Amino acid sequence: MEELGRAKIDEFKAHIGGDVLLAGDVGYDETRQIWNAMIDRTPALIARCASPEDVVQAVNFARKHNLLISIRGAGHNIAGNAVCDDGLMIDLSLMKSVQVDPNTRRATVAPGCTLADVDAAAQAHGLATPLGINSTTGVAGLTLGGGFGWLSRKYGMTVDNLLSADVVTADGSQVHASATENADLFWGLRGGGGNFGIVTSFEFQLHRVGPDVLSGLIVFPFDEAKSVLTQFARFTETMPDDLNVWMVTRKAPPLPFLPEDVHGKEIVALALCYAGDPTEGEKLIEPLRGFGNAHGEHVAVQPYSAWQQAFDPLLTPGARNYWKSHNFSRLTDSAIDVIIEYAGKLPSPHGEIFIGTIGGQTTRVAPDAMAYSSRDANYVMNVHSRWESAAEDERCIAWAREFFAKSQPFASGGAYINFLTQDESDRIAFAYGATYKQLVKLKKKYDPTNFFRMNQNIKPV
């Protein structure tokens, strides 16, 4: 900050409609804190942008003064790239508007919005687009890395539903990207992370959903894990696209429908959502109840927006988190055995292994249609290690890494870029697979100096 000088900072403040925060200012520490408590960095400046024009001013200021930048949407990403040390943090969290056109079934979404913001606005018209499963997640980061959730089997990845975007590029230009305008940039935005610019507006296709959907949990004893997971794997291979079933194995939280003696014990839970007629959904999910002797269940017709928030209490900010992730085209018996082995030795009451089922419509797009290329992935596994104190770091990280290595032989190609941690730069080319070389060319065109590098970085060489 000393190198910049007060006059330059004051001039920057005068040209931005939002706030510019320095260490010691009210709101500085709150703004620099992000979801993963393992990340604790101190930017020299934080620009709290209120408009696309503010973003342009921030980009130009950082480029002029050779500042490292980081870009914060909702600050939810596991890798912590939203905040940098000693540079300029461009905070978009004040830009939170959602505009829905129910006639064209389109939503225009600002980059500071969370899933809850979009779900609320769209569900007011009985509409939705495929997003994630934790309502406090930022739409911007989720989308730029691919995005998937309960609706993805029926309607595809989040990026499959992105129609256009407004972008501030490294030279400070504002450009529009779509299938017909700057189509190469649009190709790269759909899965390429924050490598090509700062998106200041997203346009999504919406679909008829709910507003009430059949959804909920069925919870089984851990000693029946082999039977439950095997049947889950086979059931999900043939279920209709309207239905999605995920698997979570963890220590049971104190859910009211579970007996008290189960709380804190290892369990296997099936989480389900049916996007069609609930009466038909009840028939389709009946076999799930026979996968074992369930401890209990809570399955009901409830608002889709409420189901989108069901897992929020398990994913609150402030905990220490370390993730590992694999894609699977099929869950083999050997993969299931490794999942059960490591689920049986969770290092923390808050850790979990989940299998997000995708497939369906997500596999019907050509692998080279956009930057996100993992179209053979029917399942995405997140090894989610989560704990409270730094004293637990070594044990909890080691568990995740060991499980990741042992399950590697059964995984398919690629990886979900949003689940990569900050120490996995060696996996970026692997994650993108066949599209990586094209992404490098695109990076060289739109960001030849690697100005945008606080991300899962694609270098322009």
User: Given a cut of 70, is residue 18 above it in pLDDT?
Assistant: yes
* pLDDT at 307 (0 to 100): 98
Instruction: Name all domains of the chain by residue range, CATH numbers in brackets.
Output: 6-91 (3.30.43.10), 98-209+435-446 (3.30.465.10), 212-419 (3.40.462.20)
* pLDDT at 6 (0 to 100): 87
The pLDDT tens digits for 327-375 are 999 999 999 999 999 999 999 999 999 999 999 999 999 999 999 999 9
The pLDDT tens digits for 274-286 are 999 999 999 999 9
Q: Work out the average pLDDT over 83-104.
A: 98
* pLDDT at 115 (0 to 100): 98
* pLDDT at 24 (0 to 100): 95
The pLDDT tens digits for 181-228 are 999 999 999 999 999 999 999 999 999 999 999 999 999 999 999 999
Confidence of residue 3 (pLDDT cuts 50, 70, 90): low
User: Given a cut of 60, is residue 247 above it in pLDDT?
Assistant: yes
* pLDDT at 5 (0 to 100): 83
SS (H, E, C) the chain: CCCCCHHHHHHHHHCCCCEEECCCCCCHHHHHCCCCCCCCCCCCEEEECCCHHHHHHHHHHHHHCCCCEEEECCCCCCCCCCCCCCCEEEECCCCCCEEEECCCCEEEECCCCEHHHHHHHHHCCCEECCCCCCCCCEHHHHHHCCCCCCCHHHHCCHHHHEEEEEEECCCCCEEEEECCCCHHHHHHHCCCCCCCCEEEEEEEECEECCCEEEEEEEEEEHHHHHHHHHHHHHHHHHCCCCEEEEEEEEECCCCCCCCHHHCCCEEEEEEEEECCCHHHHHHHHHHHHHHCCCCEEEEEEEEHHHHCCCCHHHCCCCCEEEEEEEEECCCCHHHHHHHHHHHCCCCCCCCEEEEEECCHHHHCCCCCCCCCCCCCCCEEEEEEEEECCHHHHHHHHHHHHHHHHHHHHHCCCCCCHHHCCCCCHHHHHHHHHHHHHHHHHHHHHHCCCCCCCCCCCCCCC
| % of the chain at pLDDT higher than 70 | 99
Q: What average pLDDT does the chain have?
A: 96
Q: Work out the average pLDDT over 82-104.
A: 98
